[in-house]
Structure 1
Amino acid sequence: MNFFAKLPAALLSACLLFAGTGVTHADDLETMLNSRQQVLNQFGQETPADSKNVFVPIRSDAPAPQPSASAGNADELIKSAMGLLGVAYRYGGNSARTGFDCSGFMQHIFRRTMGLNLPRTSAQQAKMGTHVNRSELQPGDMVFFRTAGRGRISHVGLYIGNNRFIHAPRTGKRIEITSLSNKYWNAKYAFGRRVKKNDPSRFLN
Structure 2
Amino acid sequence: MKQNALRKFAIGAACLGIILSASAISTPSAHAATAQVQASASSAQKADSVINFAGSLIGKVKYKFGVNNPSKLYFDCSSFTKYVFASQGVTLKWGSSAQSKQGVFVSKSNLKKGDLLFFSVKTPGKVNHVGIYMGDGKFIHNTTGSVYGVTISNFNSSSYQKRFITARRVL
Shared fold (TM-score, shorter chain, > 0.5)? yes
Instruction: Name the CA distance, whole Å, in 1 between partners of 2:138 and 2:145.
Output: 21
* Residue aligning to 1:151: 125
If each structure's strand is expressed as a fraction of its own residues, which one has the higher value? Answer: 2
Unaligned runs of at least 5 residues, structure 2:
1-15, 17-33
The CA deviation at 1:152 is 1.1
Letter in 2 for 1:88: K
Instruction: Name the CA distance, whole Å, in 1 between partners of 2:161 and 2:71.
Output: 28
The CA deviation at 1:116 is 2.3
Counterpart of 1:184 in 2: which secondary structure?
helix
1:181 aligns with 2:156: yes
Q: TM-score w.r.t. structure 1 length?
A: 0.60
Deviations 1:170-193 (A, max 9, x none): 276420000012232121111210
Instruction: Name the CA distance, whole Å, in 1 between partners of 2:143 and 2:156.
Output: 15
Whether the 8 Å CA contact 1:141–1:159 is kept in 2: the answer is yes
Letter in 1 for 2:128: S
If each structure's helix is expressed as a fraction of its own residues, which one has the higher value? Answer: 2
Q: TM-score w.r.t. structure 2 length?
A: 0.71
Counterpart of 2:126 in 1: which secondary structure?
coil
Tell me the number of residue pairs that the alignment of Structure 1 and Structure 2 aligns: 136
The CA deviation at 1:107 is 0.5
Report the structure number with the largest CA radius of gyration: 1
Instruction: Name the CA distance, whole Å, in 2 between partners of 1:70 and 1:98.
Output: 26
* Residue aligning to 1:81: 54
Whether the 8 Å CA contact 1:90–1:171 is kept in 2: the answer is no
Letter in 1 for 2:156: S
The CA deviation at 1:83 is 0.9
* Residue aligning to 1:194: 169
Share of identical aligned residues, percent?
A: 34
* Residue aligning to 1:21: none
Q: Could you tell me which of 75, 94, 111 is aligned with 1:100? A: 75
The CA deviation at 1:88 is 1.8
Counterpart of 1:74 in 2: which secondary structure?
helix
